[in-house]
């Protein structure tokens, strides 16, 4: 795992994931330290002036009308962090907090916030020591930044509050810092505000969701191809010339993936045999169109994430010419919108996958497969209830697709009278992504079982399966996903399939045959 160097240049998505999930170490570049020192000199000069400057010598939000005298300003910053560390509810995942801290560190290193270099150096040391502040589910409205979550992190820098140690135990943050030789920070003018005024939490969750969804869209192409093959569908709807005349890039990529997976199949194209049909059902025939639309949504979300990663979000900010200006860049709307948009795409991708699963289990529509893919229908129920579980997950994702960003509850005595709810959009997207992985895992279980049943009934010599789908089935079995047979305790099979899908092993198995998929 590479070290992540944080300088004036942008931190990229791979860097966020390396630190959040891979425990990569971080270091500050010399140019970042120099830039921070230069902008801090400007803040110190403003602090010495008699006129009030927001965030430097005033209160905050609706209380910004009060001028704070120099002897009270350290207390002002401490009070800000302590009062804003007001989260409630379950503790968020460690990877979310690490991403949040890295992204706030990235903005501090830009030199636009006016903090002393020691503040950034202390945050980097906390990340490198694997100390993770306790951050709670509720508290951010996604405007003025992710205030409560970031405040819990800032509290740790002060040696206060609670944090996870490297062993995962929650302890007093001051004790953890002392054990690792990290001195707590005594915040100076503006530094408390700079530590909490950013979109870092929602952005970190967006970056990780994009990475997870990119993998799951490829998984969906594989499971859709397996279902098409098991249902004796036609691969001709995947021909590139058909998708070239509707030139959406994601659609073309999904169709190309499915075509690669189905290459060499002896089952496709038999839609005219026993129960002739001119066309396959929409869930089969339109799989590239649905998944492709989601892929294009993902591309747009990546564009927004890249722009936000290049941003320095704070208020006020120190501009390159030395001016210190108030602004509204902390508003989370750009990030919140795409978080909601991705939740919609995830819900629809799961919905079409569930329809394919249901078709595999229905003897009236499965073209010769046994009811519910049961070993002895009537005595055995097969995968009947697996589809119930899948349907419950799909229904939950439909609820999670309701946009959070269309809501706004005014706060701070109507000073903050329109907020983004971007943190909430990110939290529900994380659940939607995990649910989608489980939905696709159920389709994998059903399509793999159906393909094996087709293989058993095949009268020829060689396997009728495409080499890529055969590799997928074999790898699934090695991963603990059971095949056809009498009814058994099914939950372990489903959990094994979920791990197989979520971790990327399904795509890896298929790519040993197809080469890289999009």
The catalytic residues are: 54
Contact 387, 357 (CB under 8 A): yes
* Other residues' Cβ atoms within 10 Å of the Cβ of residue 85: 26
- The answer to whether the bond into 195 is cis (omega within 30° of 0) is no
Contact 211, 14 (CB under 8 A): no
Report helix angle 467-478 to 491-502, nearest 10: 120
3-state secondary structure of 377: strand
CA distance 475 to 215: 17
Please name the residue that has the structure tokens 């399966």: 465
- Please, where are the H alpha helices in 362-413? 384-400
Contact 350, 436 (CB under 8 A): yes
* Other residues' Cβ atoms within 10 Å of the Cβ of residue 58: 16
Find all residues with CB under 8 Å of 271, minimum gap 6, and list them. Answer: 232, 233, 234, 277, 280, 367
Contact 127, 26 (CB under 8 A): yes
Compute and round to an integer the Cα radius of gyration of the chain: 27
Residue among 15, 8, 12 nearest 32 (CA): 8
Find all residues with CB under 8 Å of 191, minimum gap 6, and list them. Answer: 77, 114, 115, 116, 119, 185
* Other residues' Cβ atoms within 10 Å of the Cβ of residue 181: 8
Residue among 78, 81, 126 nearest 101 (CA): 126
Extract the runs of DSSP E, i.e. beta strands, from 54-93.
88-91
* Other residues' Cβ atoms within 10 Å of the Cβ of residue 257: 27
Residue among 503, 504, 346 nearest 429 (CA): 346
CA atoms within 13 A on the CB side of 92: 33
Provide the residue count of the chain.
Answer: 518
Task: Specify the DSSP class assigned to residue 237.
Answer: G
Task: Specify the DSSP class assigned to residue 325.
Answer: E
* Other residues' Cβ atoms within 10 Å of the Cβ of residue 71: 7
Instruction: For residue 84, give both structure tokens.
Output: 């804003």
CA distance 358 to 366: 9
């Amino acid at each position: 795992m590479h070290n992540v160097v944080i300088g004036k240049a942008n931190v990229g998505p791979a860097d966020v994931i390396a630190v959040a999930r891979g425990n990569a170490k971080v270091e500050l570049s010399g140019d970042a330290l120099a830039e921070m020192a230069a902008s801090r000199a400007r803040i110190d000069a403003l602090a010495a002036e008699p006129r009030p400057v927001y965030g430097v010598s005033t209160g905050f939000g609706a209380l910004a009308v009060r001028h704070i005298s120099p002897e009270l300003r350290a207390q002002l910053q401490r009070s800000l962090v302590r009062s804003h560390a007001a989260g409630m509810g379950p503790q968020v995942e460690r990877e979310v907090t690490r991403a949040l801290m890295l992204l706030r560190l990235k903005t501090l290193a830009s030199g636009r916030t006016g903090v002393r270099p020691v503040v950034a150096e202390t945050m980097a040391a906390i990340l490198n020591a694997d100390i993770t502040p306790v951050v709670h589910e509720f508290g951010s409205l996604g405007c003025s930044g992710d205030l409560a979550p970031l405040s819990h992190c800032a509290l740790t820098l002060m040696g206060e509050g609670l944090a996870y140690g490297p062993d995962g135990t929650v302890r007093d943050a001051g004790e953890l810092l002392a054990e690792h030789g990290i001195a707590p920070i005594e915040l100076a003018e503006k530094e408390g505000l700079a530590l909490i005024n950013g979109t870092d939490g929602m952005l970190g969750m967006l970056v990780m969701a994009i990475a997870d969804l990119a993998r799951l869209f490829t998984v969906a192409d594989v499971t859709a191809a397996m279902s098409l093959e098991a249902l004796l569908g036609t691969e001709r709807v995947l021909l590139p010339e058909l998708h070239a005349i509707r030139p959406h890039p994601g659609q073309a990529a999904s169709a190309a993936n499915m075509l690669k997976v189905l290459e060499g199949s002896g089952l496709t194209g038999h839609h005219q045999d026993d129960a002739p049909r001119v066309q396959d059902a929409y869930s089969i025939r339109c799989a590239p169109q649905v998944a492709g639309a989601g892929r294009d949504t993902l591309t747009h979300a990546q564009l927004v994430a890249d722009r936000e990663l290049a941003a320095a979000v704070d208020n006020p900010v120190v501009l390159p010419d030395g001016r210190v200006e108030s602004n509204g860049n902390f508003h989370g709307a750009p990030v919140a919108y795409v978080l909601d948009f991705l939740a919609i795409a995830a819900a629809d991708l799961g919905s079409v996958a569930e329809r394919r699963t249901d078709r595999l289990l229905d003897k009236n529509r499965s073209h010769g497969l046994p009811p519910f893919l049961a070993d002895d229908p009537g005595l055995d129920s097969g995968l009947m209830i697996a589809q119930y579980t899948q349907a419950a997950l799909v229904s939950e994702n439909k609820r999670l697709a309701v946009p959070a960003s269309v809501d706004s509850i005014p706060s701070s005595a109507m000073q903050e009278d329109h907020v983004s709810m971007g943190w909430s959009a990110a939290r529900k997207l994380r659940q939607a992504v995990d649910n989608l992985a489980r939905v696709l895992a159920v389709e994998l279980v059903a399509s793999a079982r159906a393909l094996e049943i087709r293989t058993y009934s095949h009268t020829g010599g060689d396997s009728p399966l495409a080499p890529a789908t055969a590799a997928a089935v074999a790898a699934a079995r090695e991963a603990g996903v059971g095949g056809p047979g009498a009814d058994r305790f099914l939950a372990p099979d489903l959990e094994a399939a979920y791990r197989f899908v979520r971790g990327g092993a399904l795509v890896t198995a298929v790519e040993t045959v197809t080469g890289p998929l999009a």
